[in-house]
Structure 1
Amino acid sequence: MKEKKGFSLNGFVAFVILLLVVGYLVTEVITAQVGFATFAIFALVILSLPGFFMVQPNQAKVMTFFGSYVGTVKNNGLQWSIPFFIRKNISLRIRNFESNQMKVNDNHGNPIEIATVVVWSVDDTAEAVFEVDDYISFVNIQSESALRNMAISYPYDQHDGDEVALRSHPQEVSEALKNEIQQRLEKAGVKVHEARISHLAYAPEIANAMLQRQQAQAIIAARSKIVDGAVGMVDMALTQLSAKQIVELDEERKATMVSNLLVVLCSDQNTQPIVNAGSLY
């Protein structure tokens, strides 16, 4: 069922027409020319009064007639339609939905806590009212289901260089989550404007262990950079000493010098120098 435009007239124009008809009826009563036609017109005026209704900005009226969908009115302001139409108000404004924090397993089987914020609005009023029983509840349930399905498709942390992870690729994950939710809400006439992760963390039972692993990985990465730099500095020192012929070192002395320089450069604490006041040998 798709949305279609419903029949309606400008309420102010319809009100003016009713005033003219009422004026005509008053004239008939004053001139004592009351007949069947006068009573019929008066009855029509009374019956037409419930046909007036108000449409607020970014809202719509879904109209049915004896169980049949006859159209949707989106024109703002005072409107008039056939009084026998049953009108249901539906909001077209943008809404936010924040899911509860859910505990799921990521792609590597690690338990994590995750939540999302979904920005959505009604795009097709007929589908929102008639295709699902309660479109608001439908949005909430399907959003959480899509979030759970998305969370098990990606790892929490990036392990490979080109791997998409929940923590390291927020834009890619948000786009995938938005598409997943939009596919589920297509039949409900709902348009998803944005979907982003609002909470992401390891589950409490493994949070400390994962924090230690992250710290260890950071320490290893930092040490690797320090060692690379220290080896380069040692090589540069030996090369310059040999090129400028400052001192000639045998292999044993070179090994000792390399060991001392690496200790100085790679140590995480300040080293205490020892000055040799004697001869070289």
Structure 2
Amino acid sequence: MSTTTSHTSEPDGPAGGPVRPGRIIQNEATTEIPVHLLFRDEPRPAPVALKPAVVGRRHGTGEQPRLRRPATPPRPAPPGPAPQVDADLAERPARVLPGAAGVLAGACGLAGCAATSWWAGVLPPLVLEALRLPAPAGSGLGPLQWAAFAGAGALGLFGFGGLARGRTGRAWVLDLFGRYRGTVRRSGLLWVNPLLLRRRVDVRLRHWRSEPVPAADASGVALRVVVQVVWRVRDTARAMLGVEDHETYLRECVEAALARVPVETPGGGRRAGDSAAEALTRLVASDAAPVGLEVFSVQPLRVEYAPEVAAAMHRRRIAALDAQHRASVLTSVVDSVEDTVTRLTMRGLVELDDYERKVLVKDLTVAFCAGRGEASP
């Protein structure tokens, strides 16, 4: 860019004398800027929001103008659809009656069968004499008697067949032709519709101990972990109709969690083990919640190296312990030598120059190391 300075003539001032021409900077785009404007002390203007500007093309290059657009933050991705939960698999109480209703219905059925037998005249004479009943007026089993027998028998079977005993800590999942009909958590003598299929569920707190499960530490070393899971069935409908075997499902959840959470190597710190247990509990609980299982804790009981790396890691650990022991012994020897030399010189027992001090330190170090070596075995 070439800059030229041009002198322009201006009219005379008020005194009639010549006026000094102003200096102007001029570029090739014919933009003139007075020089005195470059050094004016003016307050800084307030910031103004900038709009997209067009950058001019460069002369002689053939470059087209470019539109400079302001950067806009990326739009967040729309959230995924929420998981749909089948309302039929949510636990709800089943309709049951007290056991006295079933006993009463069964007794009425038996009484109806006995009355029909007397009416049909099929009761033995000994029974009539024992019960002091009059002689029947009927002459055998007819259509009416058979209908009465069927009704009374069905009532008795329906009454006694629906009796059930509920226990604390156990529940029944009722199913009719493959459709969920409710859950019974009550205790005592109950009457449940005998046409419903009953599936007993244990809702007490349970412990499950796994077999050695493959895992890895933060460095990728293969491990075998034995895990104990404390869990219980919370939603009986989902637990019975959602999965086939609870322990198999828990084992798969534990294996998936161990594949994502690094486990502390044998002999590691307690704090790292607690953090791994919390992470495992959180992952397994989130995986087991959709099928109605509530997981309270997942604790690694035993952590050991995999058979293929156990020998190498054992040698490595022994070498690390040996190096640590040697470092501690050397530190103790150096401290003892320093303390001995300091006491000898401070109390004035010996006067040593640099060479004698080095010899004394060497001899004391050898003596202390030999003494520690004999005491170690």
Structure 2 portions without partners, runs of 5+: 1-88, 120-135, 139-143
Question: What's the CA shift string for 1:224-281, capped at 9, x where partnerless?
Answer: 222222222222222222221111011111111111122222334349xxxxxxxxxx
8 Å Cα contact 2:173-2:184 kept in structure 1: yes
Give how far 1:183 is off.
Answer: 1.4
8 Å Cα contact 1:116-1:147 kept in structure 2: no
8 Å Cα contact 2:209-2:229 kept in structure 1: yes
Give the match for residue 48 of structure 1: 159
1:90 aligns with 2:201: yes
Structure 1 portions without partners, runs of 5+: 159-164, 272-281
After superposition, residues 173-252 of structure 1 pair within 5 angstroms as 173-252=276-355
Question: What's the CA shift string for 1:53-104, capped at 9, x where partnerless?
Answer: 2334421111133443221111223310233322222222344433332444
Bigger Cα displacement from structure 2, 117-126 vs 182-191: 117-126
8 Å Cα contact 1:6-1:73 kept in structure 2: yes
Give how far 1:109 is off.
Answer: 2.2
Give the match for residue 80 of structure 1: 191
Query: Against the structure 1 CA distance between its residues 207 and 46, is the aligned structure 2 distance closer, same or farther, given a 3 Å change threshold?
Result: closer
Query: Against the structure 1 CA distance between its residues 137 and 241, is the aligned structure 2 distance closer, same or farther, given a 3 Å change threshold?
Result: closer
Give the match for residue 59 of structure 1: 170
Bigger Cα displacement from structure 2, 65-74 vs 2-11: 65-74
Richer in helix (by share): 1
After superposition, residues 1-281 of structure 1 pair within 5 angstroms as 1-16=89-104, 18-19=106-107, 22-23=110-111, 42=152, 43-150=154-261, 153-156=262-265, 169-267=272-370, 268-270=372-374
Alignment partners' CA distance in 2, 1:172 and 1:119: 17
Give the match for residue 275 of structure 1: none
Tell me the TM-score normalized by structure 1: 0.77
Tell me the TM-score normalized by structure 2: 0.59
8 Å Cα contact 1:64-1:70 kept in structure 2: yes
Query: Against the structure 1 CA distance between its residues 21 and 44, is the aligned structure 2 distance closer, same or farther, given a 3 Å change threshold?
Result: closer
8 Å Cα contact 1:119-1:192 kept in structure 2: yes
Query: Against the structure 1 CA distance between its residues 216 and 88, is the aligned structure 2 distance closer, same or farther, given a 3 Å change threshold?
Result: same
Give how far 1:210 is off.
Answer: 1.5
Alignment partners' CA distance in 2, 1:33 and 1:4: 53
Paired amino acid for 1:232: D
Q: What SS does the corresponding residue of 2:336 show, helix, strand or coil?
A: helix
Give how far 1:117 is off.
Answer: 2.7
Runs of 4+ more than 4 Å apart:
20-41, 165-168
Give how far 1:16 is off.
Answer: 3.9
Give the match for residue 161 of structure 1: none
RMSD: 3.3
Identity %: 26
Q: Which has the higher contact order (CA 8 A, sep 6+)?
A: 1
Query: Against the structure 1 CA distance between its residues 136 and 102, is the aligned structure 2 distance closer, same or farther, given a 3 Å change threshold?
Result: closer
Question: What's the CA shift string for 1:144-187, capped at 9, x where partnerless?
Answer: 3323333xx245268xxxxxx58874333333222222111111
Query: Against the structure 1 CA distance between its residues 102 and 26, is the aligned structure 2 distance closer, same or farther, given a 3 Å change threshold?
Result: closer
